A and B are shown apart, each in its own frame.
Chain A
Amino acid sequence: MNGSRRILVVDDDAGMVETLCDILALHGWETERAYDGSTAVELAAGRDVDLLLMDYRMPRLDGLEAWRTIRARRPAARVVLMTAYASDDVVRRAEGEGVWRVLRKPLDVPALVALLESALPAPAE
C-alpha cells in the first residue's frame, strides 16, 4: 500500500459519483468510479480497494449483491451502503451481509466525510 487512501464510489447516477469523488478528492481521497455493480466487482478485484461507498439500488447487480462477491474476495474490505429507501428490511439484510454502515439518502456530506475518515484515517504525515 502506498500512502494514499483509496475509495471506490459506485452509483448508477453519474452526477452523484462525480460530486462525491470531487468532494472526497478535496479531503485527500484517491477515488475510483463505477456506475454499476458488476463494474464495481471487476474494479474491486483488479485494484487494491479496501473501502467502498456504494449505492444499494443499481441496475443489473444491486449494491448488496455486488458487495457479497467483493467481500468473498476481499474479506478486509469495508462498505458504506447508500439507499434512498432505507426500509428496515434492507438495513437488516445489509447488517447480515457484513455491511459496515448504511446511510440514508439524502446524505449529510460532512457526516459522510467524517465517517469515511474514521474508517480509514489519513496517514500521519
Chain B
Amino acid sequence: VSLIGRLSLRWKVPALLAIVLAAAVTTFGLMAYGVVRRAAIAAAVARQASVADQIAQLAQAGLGNLTRQVAEVASEPALVSALRDPANATAMAAAHTTLARLARDSALLVSVELRDREEKQVDAVGRPVPVRKSVVPAVSADSVSRSGFYLAGDRVVYDVRAPVRDGDRHIGWVVVVRPPATTGQGVRVLAQLIGEEAVLLLGNADGSFWTDLRGPVQRPVPSLGGIPYERDGRRRLSAAVPLPRTPWVLAVEMPEDVVLAPTRALLRNLAVLAVVIVVAAALAGERLTRSITAPIVGLTARAESIAGGSPPLPAQPIHRQDEIGRLARAFAVMADSVRQAREHLESQIGERTAELERALAQLQQAQDELLRKERLAMLGQLSSSIGHEMRNPLGVMNNAVYYLEMTLPDAPPKVKEYLALIRGQIRLSERIVSDLLDSTRSRPPESASVAVPDLLDEQLARVTIPRSVRVERDLASDLPRAWVDPDHAGQILVNLVTNAIQAMDGTGGMLRVRAHGRDGRVCIEVEDSGPGVPVENLEKIFEPLFTTKARGIGLGLSVSRSLARANEGDLTVRNLAGAGAVFLLDLPADTRA
C-alpha cells in the first residue's frame, strides 16, 4: 500500500486542497508577476526615454551660448591677423587676448586653442590637450561643430570648434576643449524625475566612447523591448536619445532591481497572500474533512466492533441531516438488525445445542442400554448353554450317589458321610445352575393384573431369610394392582430381597418392604440397613457382571433392571441418610379397574 493509501482522508483532502491552491496561486502569481514586470520595465524605459528627451533639450539650450561665443571669437580680426602671420608678435598678443577673454567667460573650459588648417596649434590658453585626429569628426568649415567625447588625461572632454576665415578663405580654427557641462543640472532633473539611482550617460553616436560625466564607462545598450543588459556587474535598463546637431547620444540608465523593486514588493505581498490563502484553505479543508470523517470514524469503529463479534457499541444520537447523517441513521438501523439477528441466532444456537445435547444424551443412554442388553443377552445365552450342559453330569452324579446309598446300607459311617457330602454339593451345584438359568431367562413379558401383596408373599417364601434379619412390611391399603408379567416381577423381587439380605451379610439388620400407588404407577421399595452403595457404584451396580460380593456372578441387579424396563417400569437405587440403601421398583399399575 502506498503512502497515499495509508494516509487518513483527514490529511489527504486538506493536503490536496493546499497543493492545488498553491499551484493555482503560484501560476497566477507568476503570470501576474510576468505581466507586471514587463509593464514596469516598459514604463521605466518609456520614462527614461522621456527624461532623456527633456535633458537633451536642456543640454541643447546650454550648447547654444557657447556656440555663439566661439563663432564670435572666430570672426575676430586679431585671430585672422595672427593666422596670417604667426611671426607677428603684436598680432599674436592680440589673438591671445581674444582667446583669453573667451576662456575667462567660460570657467569650465579646459583650453582655448587657435589652430591653422592643418590642426597645428598656433596659440593656446589653459592647458592644451594633444590633438587627437581620431576624435575629430568630419567638420564643416561653414559653422560651429562639436566633436565626440574623448579622454584628455583623466578628463572626459570634447571640442567645440569654429572656422576662422580670411575673406572667403578658411585659414584655421578656434577650438575650445571642455568637459560635458550639463552634468549638475541634468543629474538634478534626473533625480527629480526618476530617482537617485538613475544614471545619466553621454556617448558618441558611433559608440566609440561613453561617459557618466566623471569618467569613461562601458557602453550602455538601449533597452529596446525592455531587455536588460549587464554593466559594472549590475543589470540595467536604459533609454537613449540623440542630441541634434551633435555627434552625441544621451542615455538615461536605471538598475533593473530599482525598476523592479515595486514589482518585487508586489510579488512578495502576493506570496504572503498566497501562503495565507493556502494555509487558510488547508485549515478549512481539514475542518470540513473532519466533519465528514469524524462520524465515519465513529461508524467504522462500530462496524469493526460488530465485525469483530462483540456486541455493537451503543448508538449515539444523530443530529445531522446531510448525507453523513443519513449514513449514520442507516448504519444505526443496520447495526440494530445485526444485533437482533445475532441474538436470534444465538438463542437458536442455544436451543439447537440444548436439543442436540438432549438427543446425544438420549442416544448415549440408548446405546448404553443396547450395549447392556446385548451383553446380557450374550451372557444369558452362554449361561443357559453352560447351565443346561451342567445339569446332565450333575444328574448322573446324583443318580450314582443314590445308587451307592441304596446298595451300601451297611457301609462304614465315613463312606456314608462322604456320600451325603457329595449329594449336598450336587444339590448346591444344581441350585447354582438353577439360579443362573433363572436370572438370565429372558422372554417377552406377558403382562397380567398382579396383586402385589400376594406376589410379595410368594417370593419372600422362596428366599431363606436368616434369623438375624427382621422383615418389615408396609403396604398401602389402597395399593393398586400392578400390570406386569408375574414371573418377571417375582424374579425382580427375589433378586432385590436376596440382594438386601446379602448386603446385611450375616450381621443382621432390618429389611423393609414398602409399596404405594401414585399416578397410575406402583412403587415398591426394598430397603436394607447395610453399608449402602458407594457413590461411584450407584449406576455400575446395574451393569452386567458388576459385583461387590465375594461370591456371585453379578447379573441379578442388571437382569432386574432389564426386566423392569421390559415391563415399562424402572429400577433405581439411592443411599439412605443414615446407613443402608433403598431400591425403588417402579411398575405400571393396572388401570383397567
Interface residue ranges, A against B (CB under 8 Å): 13, 15-16, 19-20, 22-23, 26, 84-85, 105-107, 109-110
What are the interface flags for B394-424 relative to A under an 8 Å C-beta threshold, 1 for contact and 0 otherwise? 1110111011001100000000000000000
Q: Shortest CB–CB separation between residue A115 and chain B, in angstroms?
A: 15
B398 contacts A109, C-beta separation under 8 Å: yes
A85 contacts B402, C-beta separation under 8 Å: no
Interface residue ranges, B against A (CB under 8 Å): 388, 391-396, 398-400, 402-403, 406-407, 426, 430
For the complex of A and B, 8 pairs with smallest distance between CB atoms: A19-B399, A15-B396, A109-B402, A84-B391, A106-B395, A84-B388, A105-B391, A106-B430
Task: Identify B392's interface contact among A23, A26, A84, A110, CB under 8 A.
Answer: A84
Complex Cα gap A106–B396 (Å):
9
Q: Shortest CB–CB separation between residue B435 and chain A, in angstroms?
A: 14
Q: Shortest CB–CB separation between residue B543 and chain A, in angstroms?
A: 28
Q: Shortest CB–CB separation between residue B131 and chain A, in angstroms?
A: 176
Complex Cα gap A13–B391 (Å):
11
Chain A residues, CB < 8 A from B393:
15
Listed residue (B388, B394, B399, B403) with the most chain A CB atoms within 10 angstroms of its CB: B399
Chain B residues, CB < 8 A from A26:
403, 406-407
Among residues of A, the one whose C-beta sits closest to the C-beta of B427 is A106
Q: Shortest CB–CB separation between residue B462 and chain A, in angstroms?
A: 17
Interface secondary structure of B, over-half rule: helix
Interface secondary structure of A, over-half rule: helix
Q: Shortest CB–CB separation between residue A40 and chain B, in angstroms?
A: 18
Complex Cα gap A20–B407 (Å):
14
Chain A residues, CB < 8 A from B407:
26
Task: Identify B403's interface contact among A22, A105, A107, CB under 8 A.
Answer: A22
Known A19-B399, A19-B400; judge A105-B406 contact (CB<8 A).
no
Task: Identify B396's interface contact among A13, A84, A85, A110, CB under 8 A.
Answer: A13
B396 contacts A19, C-beta separation under 8 Å: yes
Among residues of B, the one whose C-beta sits closest to the C-beta of A104 is B391
Given contacts A19-B399, A20-B399, A84-B388, 15 further A-B contacts (CB under 8 A): A13-B392, A13-B396, A15-B393, A15-B396, A16-B396, A16-B399, A23-B399, A26-B403, A105-B391, A106-B391, A106-B394, A106-B395, A107-B395, A109-B398, A109-B402
Complex Cα gap A23–B405 (Å):
10
Complex Cα gap A16–B400 (Å):
9
Complex Cα gap A84–B394 (Å):
11
Chain A residues, CB < 8 A from B396:
13, 15-16, 19
Listed residue (B392, B393, B394, B398) with the most chain A CB atoms within 10 angstroms of its CB: B392
Known A23-B406, A26-B407; judge A109-B399 contact (CB<8 A).
yes
Q: Shortest CB–CB separation between residue A11 and chain B, in angstroms?
A: 8
B399 contacts A105, C-beta separation under 8 Å: no
Among residues of B, the one whose C-beta sits closest to the C-beta of A20 is B399
Complex Cα gap A119–B412 (Å):
35
Complex Cα gap A106–B392 (Å):
7
Complex Cα gap A23–B392 (Å):
16
Complex Cα gap A19–B426 (Å):
15
Among residues of A, the one whose C-beta sits closest to the C-beta of B398 is A106
Chain A residues, CB < 8 A from B395:
16, 105-107
A19 contacts B392, C-beta separation under 8 Å: no
Q: Shortest CB–CB separation between residue A85 and chain B, in angstroms?
A: 6
A23 contacts B388, C-beta separation under 8 Å: no
Complex Cα gap A105–B399 (Å):
12
Q: Shortest CB–CB separation between residue B142 and chain A, in angstroms?
A: 180
27 inter-chain pairs at a CB distance below 8 angstroms, sorted by A residue, are A13-B392, A13-B396, A16-B392, A16-B395, A16-B399, A19-B396, A20-B399, A22-B403, A23-B403, A26-B403, A26-B406, A84-B388, A84-B392, A85-B388, A105-B392, A106-B391, A106-B394, A106-B395, A106-B398, A106-B426, A106-B430, A107-B395, A107-B398, A107-B399, A109-B398, A109-B399, A110-B402
